[in-house]
Chains A and B, each alone.
Chain A
Amino acid sequence: AQSVTQPDIHITVSEGASLELRCNYSYGATPYLFWYVQSPGQGLQLLLKYFSGDTLVQGIKGFEAEFKRSQSSFNLRKPSVHWSDAAEYFCAAILSGSARQLTFGSGTQLTVLP
């Protein structure tokens, strides 16, 4: 079945440390890939997206993600985390179908320690 998996439910890092959030997809072809961030009680903000081309994608707020076809992964990274980065992060993909619907991962809650 086509799916998006975020293996880490909760990650805790210290402020200033590097961050990597994992995302894997299960799909026969290359999907369109997205990372969103959600603060408590808020909607989703797009951090970055990958459709094609350069596999290293730069986003807002200092985030980047790398598409690795061989690993079916699209991991999100940030070299130095700020306390304001604490939030829920969702990986999503458009896998198939004429409606081009988003399939979301289960999310990763990021806690940042002072």
Chain B
Amino acid sequence: GAVVSQHPSRVICKSGTSVKIECRSLDFQATTMFWYRQFPKQSLMLMATSNEGSKATYEQGVEKDKFLINHASLTLSTLTVTSAHPEDSSFYICSARDGNRGTYEQYFGPGTRLTVT
């Protein structure tokens, strides 16, 4: 149980285009989802926290107009990288918290490798 999927696993896009990454909780209701960014050989950096049906809370330094997060349902959150540039190339990982378990554990997706050319 507690499986989180991400789609796509890899994406290559041209500079200036937008890319959408989906994060789904497959067997539980994710009241809270988190989006992280990870640079090579570095730790995870929290970008934003989203609760179902409300606006995401972005961490300091994360451009909310560039990284659009939507958490429209209890099983789906999306991250859209708008007007992508090469410096946005990174590994993006989502996680989800099961609102019915009453614990603070997060379940992580497998990640999405974004390459902007």
Contacts and interface: CB of A to CB of B under 8 A. Distances in A.
A99 B49 contact: yes
A14 B20 CA distance: 42
Contacts of B43: 90, 104-107
Q: Say whether chain B's binding surface is mostly helix, strand, loop, or mixed.
A: strand
B111 A42 contact: yes
Contacts of A99: 32, 49, 57
Contacts of A100: 97, 104
Contact of A42 (B95, B103, B107, B110): B110
B42 A106 contact: yes
A43 B111 contact: yes
Contacts of B57: 99
B113 interface: yes
Given A42-B111, A90-B43, A107-B43, A102 B106 contact: yes
Contact of A41 (B4, B6, B46, B113): B113
Contacts of A42: 110-111
A113 interface: no
Interface residues of B, number: 25
Interface residues of A, number: 22
A107 B110 CA distance: 18
Given A42-B110, A43-B108, A99-B57, 15 more contacts: A36-B108, A41-B111, A43-B6, A43-B109, A43-B110, A43-B111, A44-B44, A46-B108, A90-B44, A99-B32, A100-B97, A101-B46, A105-B43, A106-B42, A107-B42
Interface of A: 32, 34, 36, 41-46, 49, 51, 90, 94, 99-102, 104-107, 109
Interface of B: 4, 6, 32, 34, 41-44, 46, 49, 57, 91, 93, 95, 97, 103-111, 113
22 contacts: A36-B108, A41-B91, A41-B111, A43-B4, A43-B93, A43-B111, A44-B44, A44-B108, A46-B105, A90-B43, A99-B49, A99-B57, A101-B49, A102-B34, A102-B46, A102-B95, A104-B43, A104-B44, A106-B42, A106-B43, A107-B43, A109-B41
